[in-house]
A and B are shown apart, each in its own frame.
Chain A
């Protein structure tokens, strides 16, 4: 199925979870995740099942003002 991660299309197996996606893209902690503009806490990463065309954001800390 097609998932868009940080604005980049990715192909993942059906029923993939957030944790599968994080492994697929080799995400490195610290990070946080939102799916379709909804925050997914890390306690849900191995539970939340992604769906076709989900828009996923994986963010990391950066400098800020």
Chain B
């Protein structure tokens, strides 16, 4: 008889048929230093790390070169994004450039509709995702928690969806629990919460709801100790997932003693 697999190895994240041991995806921006970024990645062991593209020479050449070397050294799958793209053509061209540079079909599709909230352009996101999927990309679309939008993304071939919890970088945690829980109930594909998480408890909560993973950046990068926070998020994701699989108790309106009443000393019936 074969022994059952331990939870951590049996319960893997599957995206587009590929298996990942971790359910945490980690961004690489805004860390105090490259060394802290590297250590945060090492301690969190994320399924993927995100990266982006900018004009060559727009930043510090040494920093750009160092990041590329870090990506090579870490050997963690890279999830390129299309951050900053405001039109379908910008997103498509950026995606194609990212595929060549990073040598990967994975793509975090960002199509920004509003610069103030960084809210995705929900009206053009579906057609853009459809084009990219037909072009061979494994698209993980950053979107809102709108059920119909997410359903349409699934309809055009997205095998995983990444709704926000709150606007990027706000750290506010899930602002619309009703819609996010409904989304989980209605959509059969993997759901990864992308953006807006500020605390490990936020990550734990959405995992308890049955979400399949979380993608975050700022909450770790801007912590006083990003390395410790990276581990805290990794643990929270794991704890939330185990809680979901365990089946949580139903909340009660009135107290129910957990210690048996029968045989209570000094007890007498009034």
A residues in contact (CB < 8 Å) with B:
6-7, 27-28, 30-34, 37-39, 41-42, 57-65
- Cα–Cα distance between A58 and B68 once the two chains are bound (Å): 16
Q: A61-B51, A62-B52 are in contact. Are A39 and B93 (CB under 8 A)?
A: yes
- Cα–Cα distance between A33 and B98 once the two chains are bound (Å): 10
Q: A61-B68, A64-B27, A65-B168 are in contact. Are A7 and B93 (CB under 8 A)?
A: no
Are A65 and B30 in contact, with the CB atoms below 8 A?
yes
- Cα–Cα distance between A34 and B58 once the two chains are bound (Å): 16
Within 8 A of A (CB), among B76-102: 80-81, 83, 89-90, 93-94, 96-98, 100-102
Are B29 and A30 in contact, with the CB atoms below 8 A?
no
Contact with A along B181-206 (1 / 0, CB 8 A): 00000000000000000000000000
Within 8 A of A (CB), among B133-183: 168-169
Are B29 and A57 in contact, with the CB atoms below 8 A?
no
Are B55 and A64 in contact, with the CB atoms below 8 A?
no
Are A32 and B55 in contact, with the CB atoms below 8 A?
no
Are A62 and B168 in contact, with the CB atoms below 8 A?
no
Are A61 and B67 in contact, with the CB atoms below 8 A?
yes
Are A61 and B218 in contact, with the CB atoms below 8 A?
no
Are B28 and A64 in contact, with the CB atoms below 8 A?
yes
Are B53 and A32 in contact, with the CB atoms below 8 A?
yes
Are A63 and B90 in contact, with the CB atoms below 8 A?
no
Which residues of A sit under 8 angstroms from B71, Cβ to Cβ?
Answer: 61
